[in-house]
A and B are shown apart, each in its own frame.
Chain A
Amino acid sequence: MANEVCFRTLHKDRPWRLETYQSEGGYEALKRILADRTSQEEIIEAVKKSGLRGRGGAGFPTGLKWSFINRAAPGDKYVVVNSDEGEPGTFKDRDILRYNPHALIEGMIICGYAIGAKAGFNYIRGEFWEPYERFEGALAEAREAGLLGENILGSGFDFDIHTHLGAGAYICGEETALLESLEGKKGQPRFKPPFPAMFGLYGRPTVINNTETLASVPDIIRQGADWFRGIGVENSGGPKLFSVSGNVVRPGNYEVPMGMPFAELLELAGGMRDGRPCKAVIPGGSSAPVLPGDVMMDLTMDYDSIAKAGSMLGSGAVIVMDDTNCMVKVLDRISYFYYEESCGQCTPCREGTGWMHRVVHRIETGAGRTEDLDLLDDVAKKIMGRTICALGDAAAMPVAGFIKHFRDEFQYHVDHKKCMV
C-alpha cells in the first residue's frame, strides 16, 4: 500500500515521461471527462467525497475550495499551483515535479474544467531549476499530444498552463502572497476576505492548490472517490507523501496511507540512525509544534491524531531527532528562519520574530535569564492571531511547543550556560 497516487510511476524507468504516465492510467480521467462531458458539479462532488484535503499544510477540504468559485461569473478564472515548497523539512513537491509532472498537469486541467478556467499557472520556487525544466518538458509533451492547449482532444475545451518561477521567499508559499508575487510584486499576503475564490490572480476567481493536492486529483476521478477515501482514515482521505528527514537511516519521501502509525513510517525510513533513541519529532514542517519521541510512537499519521497530541500534520514533513540534538539549538535555528522570512508587513510578526530569535539565541549562547522562558511565551502569545497571514502563528507555535515539552533543557541552558546533551 505505498506509492499509489502521486508516486504511481516511480518504480518505472524515466517515470516523468508521458508514455510512462499513460502506461499507469495517466490522462484516462481527463479523457473520460471530456468524452462523457461530465458535469462540473459531478467532478467537484467527487473531489469533496474523496476526503482530499490541502496537502500544502492547511488541510482545507479541496472540493469545498473548488465549490466556492462562482462558475457562472463571466470573464477569466484561474487555476494556480503552489509549488513554492519552502516549509523547512518538506521536499515532496520537488519529487512530484521531477518524477510525475503529468499527474500535476492532468490535475490542473481537470480543476480548470471543473471551475471553468482556461489558464493555469504553476508557481515553482526559483531554486527548483531541475524540477522547473522537468515540468516544462512535460508541458511540451502534453501539448504535442493534444492534451493541453486549444481544443483538448477535439473536445472544444481549451486550457493552457504556464510556469512562473519564484526568487527566494518563504512567504510566497502563503497563497495570497503567491498571487501578489505572480502579479510581479513583492510577496506580501493580502487581507482575507475576499478570498482567492472571489478575488484571486489579477482580481479574478482563482483556485489555488498545493502540487500534491492537484496531482492527487486524476486518480480520484479515475479510480473513484470511495477508493481514494478508503486508503486513508476518517477525516484524512487518501494516501499522503511524508518527507522524512533528520536522524533516520533512509531519509526520503514515503507515500503511504493516512493513518499509518508513526512507528511504521519510521521503520520504512530505516529506523533511527545508529540505533539511538528518538528524542523528538516535528511532525508537519517547522511550523508544527515539536512532540517528544515517546508521544509520537503512539500516534498515527493523520490530521486528527497529530492534532489531538497538540501539533499538526501540516505539509507532512517529519523531522526526526535523536538524543544528540540540543532542543535549544534547534529552536534557535527555527526562530532565526521565521525572523529571516517575515515579510515585514505586520508589526507583531516583524518585531516579534526578531524578539523571539534574539531571546532564544541568548539562551543558546549562555546569556539567558530565568525570566526569558516566560518572556518567550509572552511574545509568542502576542503574535498569535494578530497578523494578516499565518506566518506569525507559524513562528510562535514552535517556540511554545519546544518550551512546553523541553522546558528543563532550556532551564539547564539558563542555569549552567551550556547544553544538557
Chain B
Amino acid sequence: MSMRSEPMVRVDRREDKDALFTPEVRREIDAWIAKYPDGWQQSACMAALRIVQDMNGGHLTRSLMDQVADYLDMPAIAVYEVASFYSMYEHKPVGRHKICLCTNVSCMINGSDGILEHLSNRLGIGFGQITADGKFSLKEVECLGACGGAPMMQIGRTYYENLTPELVDQILDGLE
C-alpha cells in the first residue's frame, strides 16, 4: 500500500523515447496515457505491459519491463512490482495459444477436472507447461466470471464455455 496523491518521480528521465519499441506500439501505449491526467502516465503501466507482452509473443522480459519504465518515466522497480503482481503477465515463454482453464468452484462442480484430464492427455502437458512445438501452454486460472457456462476456459482473448471433451477437441482442432 502506498497512499500518495503524486505519481512516483524518476530523476533520470529518458528523452529519446522514439528509440523504444515500434511506432505502432508507442501509438497504442500513448492512447492509454491520454486517458489519465497529466503526469499520471504510470496509470498506463498495466496496459503498456500487456501491449509489449503481446508484441513479444506472450511473455515479458527484463528488457521489456525496463523499456516500459523508461517510456513512462517510472522507476524500474515500480514496473517490476506491477509485472509480478498480476497473474496475466507471463515471465516465461507460453504457447502460441495459452489455454487458461478455470478450476474454481462452479467449474469444478461441473467437471473441470475431466476437462483438465482431457487436455493433459491430448497435449501431453500439465499446468504451467508448454508443448514441445510451442503451440499450446496450459495454465490454471481462478474464476473468470463465466460460471453460468461452466466448465470454461479462455484461449487468447476468447472465452469458451460449457466445455465437453468433444468440444475441447473441436476448439483445439480449429486453432492454427
Q: Please give the residue numbers on chain A whose beta carbons come within 8 Å of chain B beta carbons, in ascending order.
A: 76, 85-91, 93-94, 121, 125-130, 162-170, 180-191, 199, 202-204, 243-247, 251-253, 282, 286, 317, 319, 321, 325, 329-330, 333-334, 337, 340-341, 343, 345, 388
Stretch of B12-20, B119-127, B144-152 with 4 or more beta carbons under 8 angstroms from chain A: B144-152
- Interchain CA distance A152-B142 in the complex, whole Å: 40
Please name the residue on chain A nearest to B152 by beta carbon: A91
Asked whether A252 lies within 8 Å of B148 as measured between CB atoms, the reply is yes
Asked whether B109 lies within 8 Å of A247 as measured between CB atoms, the reply is yes
| CB-contact partner of B142 in A251, A317, A337, under 8 A | A337
Interface string of B26-70 (1 = CB under 8 A from A): 000000000111001011111101100000000000000000000
Q: Please give the residue numbers on chain B whose beta carbons come within 8 Å of chain A beta carbons, in ascending order.
A: 1-7, 35-37, 40, 42-47, 49-50, 72, 74, 78, 81-82, 85-89, 100, 103-106, 108-110, 141-150, 154, 157-159
Asked whether A187 lies within 8 Å of B105 as measured between CB atoms, the reply is no
Asked whether A333 lies within 8 Å of B81 as measured between CB atoms, the reply is no
A225 to chain B, nearest CB (A): 30
Asked whether A185 lies within 8 Å of B81 as measured between CB atoms, the reply is yes
A94 to chain B, nearest CB (A): 5
Please name the residue on chain B nearest to A389 by beta carbon: B1
Interface core residue of A202, A253, A317, A337 (most chain B CB under 10 Å): A202
Inter-chain pairs besides A91-B146, A188-B1, 6 sampled, C-beta below 8 Å: A88-B104, A164-B43, A168-B89, A181-B46, A185-B81, A251-B150
- Interchain CA distance A215-B110 in the complex, whole Å: 30
Asked whether B85 lies within 8 Å of A127 as measured between CB atoms, the reply is no
Asked whether A334 lies within 8 Å of B105 as measured between CB atoms, the reply is yes
| CB-contact partner of B109 in A91, A244, A246, under 8 A | A246
Asked whether B143 lies within 8 Å of A337 as measured between CB atoms, the reply is yes
Q: Can you report 11 A-B residue pairs in the complex whose CB atoms are below 8 A from each other?
A: A86-B143, A126-B46, A127-B88, A129-B157, A169-B85, A169-B87, A170-B142, A186-B82, A186-B85, A245-B110, A246-B109
Asked whether A183 lies within 8 Å of B109 as measured between CB atoms, the reply is no
- Interchain CA distance A3-B159 in the complex, whole Å: 25
Given contacts A85-B145, A91-B146, A252-B148, contact A202 B37 (CB under 8 A): yes
Q: Which residues of A contact B2 (CB under 8 A)?
A: 180, 185
A269 to chain B, nearest CB (A): 10
Asked whether B147 lies within 8 Å of A88 as measured between CB atoms, the reply is yes
- Interchain CA distance A184-B166 in the complex, whole Å: 41
Interface core residue of A121, A164, A180, A330 (most chain B CB under 10 Å): A164
Asked whether B1 lies within 8 Å of A190 as measured between CB atoms, the reply is yes
Asked whether A180 lies within 8 Å of B4 as measured between CB atoms, the reply is no
Interface core residue of A91, A286, A343 (most chain B CB under 10 Å): A91
Q: Which 3 residue pairs of A and B lie closest in terms of their CB atoms, listed nearest first?
A: A203-B5, A168-B87, A167-B86
Asked whether A251 lies within 8 Å of B88 as measured between CB atoms, the reply is no
Asked whether B46 lies within 8 Å of A166 as measured between CB atoms, the reply is yes
- Interchain CA distance A166-B47 in the complex, whole Å: 8
- Interchain CA distance A166-B103 in the complex, whole Å: 20
Asked whether A340 lies within 8 Å of B148 as measured between CB atoms, the reply is no
A251 to chain B, nearest CB (A): 4
Asked whether B1 lies within 8 Å of A126 as measured between CB atoms, the reply is no
A314 to chain B, nearest CB (A): 14
Q: Which residues of A contact B103 (CB under 8 A)?
A: 333
Asked whether B87 lies within 8 Å of A165 as measured between CB atoms, the reply is no
- Interchain CA distance A165-B45 in the complex, whole Å: 11
Please name the residue on chain A nearest to B82 by beta carbon: A186
Given contacts A167-B46, A183-B42, A185-B82, contact A243 B3 (CB under 8 A): no
Q: Which residues of B contact A93 (CB under 8 A)?
A: 145
- Interchain CA distance A388-B2 in the complex, whole Å: 13
- Interchain CA distance A190-B4 in the complex, whole Å: 10
- Interchain CA distance A182-B106 in the complex, whole Å: 29
Q: Which residues of B contact A126 (CB under 8 A)?
A: 46, 50, 86, 88
- Interchain CA distance A167-B109 in the complex, whole Å: 26
Asked whether A245 lies within 8 Å of B159 as measured between CB atoms, the reply is no
Asked whether A245 lies within 8 Å of B150 as measured between CB atoms, the reply is yes
Given contacts A91-B147, A126-B50, contact A246 B87 (CB under 8 A): no
- Interchain CA distance A106-B82 in the complex, whole Å: 32
Q: Which residues of A contact B104 (CB under 8 A)?
A: 88, 286, 333, 337
Given contacts A88-B105, A170-B142, contact A191 B3 (CB under 8 A): yes
Given contacts A127-B88, A129-B157, A167-B89, contact A246 B106 (CB under 8 A): yes
Asked whether A199 lies within 8 Å of B109 as measured between CB atoms, the reply is no
Given contacts A89-B105, A165-B46, A185-B82, contact A245 B148 (CB under 8 A): yes
Asked whether A94 lies within 8 Å of B45 as measured between CB atoms, the reply is no
Asked whether A187 lies within 8 Å of B150 as measured between CB atoms, the reply is no
Asked whether B50 lies within 8 Å of A243 as measured between CB atoms, the reply is no
Given contacts A88-B142, A243-B148, contact A167 B105 (CB under 8 A): no
Please name the residue on chain B nearest to A398 by beta carbon: B105
- Interchain CA distance A223-B30 in the complex, whole Å: 41
A346 to chain B, nearest CB (A): 10
Asked whether A187 lies within 8 Å of B85 as measured between CB atoms, the reply is yes
Given contacts A88-B104, A185-B81, A319-B109, contact A245 B3 (CB under 8 A): no
Asked whether A184 lies within 8 Å of B143 as measured between CB atoms, the reply is no
B86 to chain A, nearest CB (A): 4
Given contacts A127-B88, A169-B86, contact A88 B148 (CB under 8 A): no
